[in-house]
Structure 1
Amino acid sequence: MINFVNRAEAFITHKIEGKAHITPRADIQFVQEAEPAVARFARTMRGACAHRDSDGRLRRFIVEFRSTQDLLEVSVSKTAQILCDSGVLTPDHVIRTKNKIAYVDTLLENNDDLRKRINQVVEDFVKDYHRYFREQVKARGVDLQELDPYPRIFIAAGLGMFALGFSRKEAKVAADIAEKTICAKIQANAMDQYLPITESHIFDMEYWPIQQKKLGQFSSLLLQGQIALITGAGGAIGYGIADRLLASGAAVVLSDIDESRAKKVCSLLKERYRNGEIEIIPFDVTDYQSAASAVDEISRQLGGIDIVVPNAGIAHVAKIEDLEPDKLDQVIAVNFKGTFNTIKAAIPVFKQQGTGGHIIVISSKNVFDPGAAFGAYSASKAGAHQISKIAALELAELGVRVNMINPDAVFGDGEISSTLWDIVGPDRMKSRGLDFEGLKEYYRNRNLLKAQVLAEHVGNVVVFFASDQTPTTGASFPVDGGIASAFPR
């Protein structure tokens, strides 16, 4: 077999040697500043392809972007539309890529205009898929459940190729197949002409009874296809949130100013879940431009963001009398301004996607029940809590829900400690004459339920909010075992 493949490759190379493979259009050029354009296109395209399934749940896609020289040249070629319409190389590829590729021949600079253009391309693709399904079902006289009609591959003029899948693995597989398909079509056309497989043969594979049986048994994870960003992800609570989101099917981006801590969390989670649904993209939450750049990078790597979890926080122990103004500024910069910057940076993504989303702020029990010598932390968290309520008021029109979680005494474990308790723990142990285990027991016994609060409990609430199980925004959700003085009121 290898011998025959090698002979075929040699034959093709000889036949196309010296021939022009692709003829470019004079009116389209490669995009010069591609990075922001890729982010903008990915978010808009991802929003256009999001759709409700038969259960009414909004299905979203993960995106894989490719921009090899061949893909760039195809995107600006005279035959780009013909190539995109000409179908897969072999029928089984249709399961991953659909039969055709959606082609966007111009990248309009205005966001609304770009959305209209992409929406029109998707609408035309969907109509053509419905036509294909109706014709094939009628020809066979059968009754089948139509698969979702949305494109899996896009070619964007001057940018390259975008592949979609319900997971990163699916998106990467679709991209690999489509990239090889396009290269093969280029070679076929250079030799003579690429002749596509008939729609009848495509339908036989796409609607093979075994595939239909699999469809009937299909049950996706709660957050499959969604993309989550967690700041302060190197600590115990960030770890617990990431774990629960991954278990629910989301793709997760970890961010922490201490990249070594984020890498440790990432390593533990990759070992546990053994998938590629997790990335590290560090940024400084105190710097808005850093946050905005990170959000664009997430869009380039994954397609956008659906769930934002502002969790980054620092603590400082000092009475007001002893609190240095610069220390207060540092705590406010991370806890309050960091939350503000993260929320603000995510808003353009939610707008361009047009599919709503969730901002789930990790607040604190101290918002409702502050402690002495903990003013910098308590006040900064109260400010973050308040700006989150304002965000709930302002972002509801986008379908974005903003809720707050108020944990208390989440210590972490031996693998991932709490950065907050690393700071305040020694002082609390000293003042109470306790060791670390004794301090944990003290806080467990002070709550009404006598419960040890774990990071995974916070993560469970994040998943609850992110999965749209109730029409809730602007809420505060205590995860503290019951602290009467911290009851929201």
Structure 2
Amino acid sequence: MSNRPDGEEQIRKALGDDVIILPYVHPGFALSKAAAEAFVEHSTARGMVLLRHGLITWGPSAKAAYNTHIEFVNLAEGYLERTRPATPTGAAPSVEQAQAAYRAWAPTLRGKLATPSGRDDIAWKRAILRPIIDDATLALLNSPVARELLVTPPLTSDHLIRTKMLPLWVDTPDQLDAALDNYIAAYGDYCDANWGRTAADTPRFDPLPRVILCPSIGAVCVGPDAPAADIARDITAQTLAVKATIGEPAEYEGLSAEQCFDMEYFPLQLAKLRKQSESPLRRHVAVITGAAGAIGAGICRYLLEQGCHVAATDLPGDGLDSLTAELAGRFGARALGVPLDVTSPEGIAEAYGQIIDAWGGIDLVIINAGLAHVSTLKEMDLARFQLLEKVNVEGTLNLLTASAKLFEQQNTGGDVVLISTKNVFAPGAGFGAYSATKAASHQLARIAVVEMAGMDVRVNMVAPDAVFSDGARKSGLWQEVGPDRMKARGLTEDGLEEYYRNRNLLKARVTADHVAHGVYYFATRQSPTTGATIPVDGGLPDATPR
């Protein structure tokens, strides 16, 4: 009701004479002063509507004020139900069609929405995407009046910092480039026309949209991380619902360009933004295979602690389910569990698709899934060797293939970290199947170093040794290898861990966190490095990479 040319008249009809109606005033002291003066003049009122801001109610107690608020909201809802026109709709694709189209388009869109960072190491400030794809949104976006009604200023100035003044309208995904160019130019014109309203040395925001509307896909909302993008999504969902209720473009009246600019470049708002710090991985999406094991779980947890979005993948089962519940309970929308069999290219495509659905793309791929087997060459079961080859070698190849294609589509670089092993450099007797297949995996990664560098994709390796567990999570490798090693040396499980600790030069107990720190070093690009291997083994001279 507030966002109409006759908003004051509509509110008066709906709420009666018990409310004060205050014309729009810029947030801050001026608004507080205007509200106070209006209250003095109408002290018997029970509430106040601040046009294009909201509703305030009061009373002798908190409960009384709340009850008045509910009363006015109910009156407004009843009035709208009696007077609202038909919601504009049009023939639209199905939700399933739109979701498939979004999955195919999102990495391209995410790449186009990245902004240069001004740094040589991490060249792009990426974005996280959160879509709105449902029947109501698709029907609204395909109505004859959709563009005229929806590409309009926000409901209230508070939304500007999340949504910008206008959404970007894209008729079809293949028109993205032209639509973006026009949007960027229009944002520049908007700033030029209003720049005299702010300090000359105020830095401009990037000119890219925060909300994208596309009839064949839905609404896509953008933020530096999932929580921020979710706020933009919630605001957008409410904005679409309100504008749909108004129905006719001529009946909607938002903020003027000057009012939007004054809020977007409000000095107090800018001061708050300048104080915000950002972790290096806040805008990153990582996928980790073999996540339910000791090393994988430790990497997931550590990257999430550093602000990253993390998709934990493993074979379906209790291990992945419990890890997903643990991570999602602690890290919310930045954690995701996805079943994945690395031996299946189709399974990888589906898993990557689910990650794209959640966040728009992938920036960091950690290849950790693997199998071990204890056997001499003389006694080697060929079928067992072939199983290791399928997981350790073909799994690596499948992931590198899928990742290269996705990185190319996003066009913002990327990182691959292979969890290798000291056995690549110092293989042991009775461990031939594991050592050989991990060496092949390592060699594939070294080839990827050369092939992907032109896309600004760095490929590095971390080679741990003797990581037995991560809390209660046991290492699958050591569950396979441990019994044979304990028997050969006459040791208990604790004794075996102590044996390996004393074997390395630093006498260090190597943990999953140590491995995660190695991954983090490469993911944050702390040096101009690709093709390197970091040993995380406490110092094993025979296993030093050569």
TM-score normalized by structure 1? 0.93
Task: Give the corresponding residue for 1:187.
Answer: 245
Task: Give the corresponding residue for 1:110.
Answer: none
Task: Give the corresponding residue for 1:64.
Answer: 130
AA matched with 1:241: I
8 Å CA contact retained: 2:145, 2:249: no
Structure 1 SS opposite 2:473: coil
> Structure 1: which 5+ residue stretches go unaligned?
108-113
Task: Give the corresponding residue for 2:291.
Answer: 233
Deviation per CA, 1:232-277, whole angstroms, max 9, x where unpaired?
0001110111122112211000111143112222333345x44321
Give, in angstroms, the shift of residue 142 of structure 1.
Answer: 4.7
Deviation per CA, 1:137-158, whole angstroms, max 9, x where unpaired?
2145654222232211111221
Equivalent runs, 1:428-447 vs 2, <5 Å: 428-447=485-504
Change in CA separation of 1:23 and 1:424 when aligned onto 2, cut-off 3 Å? closer
Give, in angstroms, the shift of residue 30 of structure 1.
Answer: 5.7
Q: Which of the two has higher C-alpha Rg? A: 2
Q: What is the distance in 2 between the residues matched to 1:4 and 1:414?
A: 54
AA matched with 2:74: N
Among 190, 199, 206, the alignment partner of 1:148 is 206
The reply to whether residue 384 of structure 1 matches residue 448 of structure 2 is no
Task: Give the corresponding residue for 1:371.
Answer: 428
Among 316, 322, 328, the alignment partner of 2:379 is 322
Q: What is the distance in 2 between the residues matched to 1:51 and 1:325?
A: 51
Q: What is the distance in 2 between the residues matched to 1:141 and 1:257?
A: 56
Equivalent runs, 1:47-58 vs 2, <5 Å: 47-53=111-117, 58=124
* Alignment coverage as a number of residue pairs: 476
8 Å CA contact retained: 1:447, 1:483: yes
Among 158, 162, 181, the alignment partner of 1:123 is 181
Equivalent runs, 1:105-116 vs 2, <5 Å: 105-107=171-173, 114=174
Structure 1 SS opposite 2:463: strand
Give, in angstroms, the shift of residue 382 of structure 1.
Answer: 0.5
Structure 2 SS opposite 1:322: coil
Deviation per CA, 1:386-426, whole angstroms, max 9, x where unpaired?
11111111111221111111111111144211111111111
Task: Give the corresponding residue for 1:91.
Answer: 157
Among 310, 326, 341, the alignment partner of 1:284 is 341
Structure 2 SS opposite 1:372: coil
Deviation per CA, 1:80-131, whole angstroms, max 9, x where unpaired?
3323421100000111111211111013xxxxxx3xx323322322222222
The reply to whether residue 16 of structure 1 matches residue 16 of structure 2 is no
Task: Give the corresponding residue for 2:65.
Answer: none
Q: What is the distance in 1 between the residues matched to 2:404 and 2:97?
A: 22
8 Å CA contact retained: 1:40, 1:352: no
8 Å CA contact retained: 2:418, 2:461: yes
Deviation per CA, 1:193-215, whole angstroms, max 9, x where unpaired?
11111122222222222221122
AA matched with 1:14: R
Task: Give the corresponding residue for 2:108.
Answer: 44
Change in CA separation of 1:425 and 1:245 when aligned onto 2, cut-off 3 Å? same
Task: Give the corresponding residue for 1:74.
Answer: 140
> Structure 2: which 5+ residue stretches go unaligned?
1-68
The reply to whether residue 486 of structure 1 matches residue 543 of structure 2 is yes
Q: What is the distance in 1 between the residues matched to 2:178 and 2:515?
A: 41
8 Å CA contact retained: 1:24, 1:78: yes
8 Å CA contact retained: 2:89, 2:141: no
The reply to whether residue 398 of structure 1 matches residue 464 of structure 2 is no
8 Å CA contact retained: 2:365, 2:416: yes
Task: Give the corresponding residue for 2:365.
Answer: 308
Structure 2 SS opposite 1:155: strand
Q: What is the distance in 1 between the residues matched to 2:497 and 2:366?
A: 26
8 Å CA contact retained: 1:223, 1:467: yes
Q: What is the distance in 1 between the residues matched to 2:450 and 2:295?
A: 26
8 Å CA contact retained: 1:451, 1:481: yes
8 Å CA contact retained: 1:36, 1:296: no
Q: What is the distance in 1 between the residues matched to 2:110 and 2:150?
A: 19
8 Å CA contact retained: 2:365, 2:417: yes
8 Å CA contact retained: 1:84, 1:102: no
AA matched with 2:257: E
Q: What is the distance in 2 between the residues matched to 1:75 and 1:300?
A: 20
Q: What is the distance in 1 between the residues matched to 2:235 and 2:317?
A: 34
Deviation per CA, 1:315-368, whole angstroms, max 9, x where unpaired?
111111111111111111111111111121222221111101011111111011
Task: Give the corresponding residue for 1:168.
Answer: 226
Among 515, 518, 521, the alignment partner of 1:464 is 521
Structure 2 SS opposite 1:241: helix
Task: Give the corresponding residue for 2:321.
Answer: 263
Change in CA separation of 1:374 and 1:87 when aligned onto 2, cut-off 3 Å? same
Q: What is the distance in 1 between the residues matched to 2:480 and 2:82?
A: 69
Q: What is the distance in 1 between the residues matched to 2:494 and 2:535?
A: 23
AA matched with 2:213: I
How big is the alpha-carbon RMSD for the aligned residues of Structure 1 and Structure 2?
2.0
8 Å CA contact retained: 1:70, 1:183: no
8 Å CA contact retained: 1:136, 1:200: yes
AA matched with 1:206: E
Give, in angstroms, the shift of residue 468 of structure 1.
Answer: 2.0
8 Å CA contact retained: 2:125, 2:283: yes
Task: Give the corresponding residue for 2:75.
Answer: 7
Task: Give the corresponding residue for 1:253.
Answer: 311
Structure 1 SS opposite 2:216: coil
Q: What is the distance in 1 between the residues matched to 2:140 and 2:263?
A: 28
Structure 2 SS opposite 1:456: helix
Change in CA separation of 1:365 and 1:38 when aligned onto 2, cut-off 3 Å? same
Give, in angstroms, the shift of residue 14 of structure 1.
Answer: 1.8
Instruction: State percent identity of aligned pairs.
Output: 39
Change in CA separation of 1:400 and 1:141 when aligned onto 2, cut-off 3 Å? closer
Task: Give the corresponding residue for 2:274.
Answer: 216
Structure 2 SS opposite 1:269: helix
Structure 2 SS opposite 1:320: coil
Q: What is the distance in 1 between the residues matched to 2:249 and 2:344?
A: 54
Deviation per CA, 1:448-482, whole angstroms, max 9, x where unpaired?
22211111111111111111222222222211111
Give, in angstroms, the shift of residue 54 of structure 1.
Answer: 6.0
Q: Report 1 or 2 for greater relative contact order, CA contacts < 8 Å, sequence distance ≥ 6.
A: 1
AA matched with 2:110: R
Q: What is the distance in 1 between the residues matched to 2:531 and 2:384?
A: 30
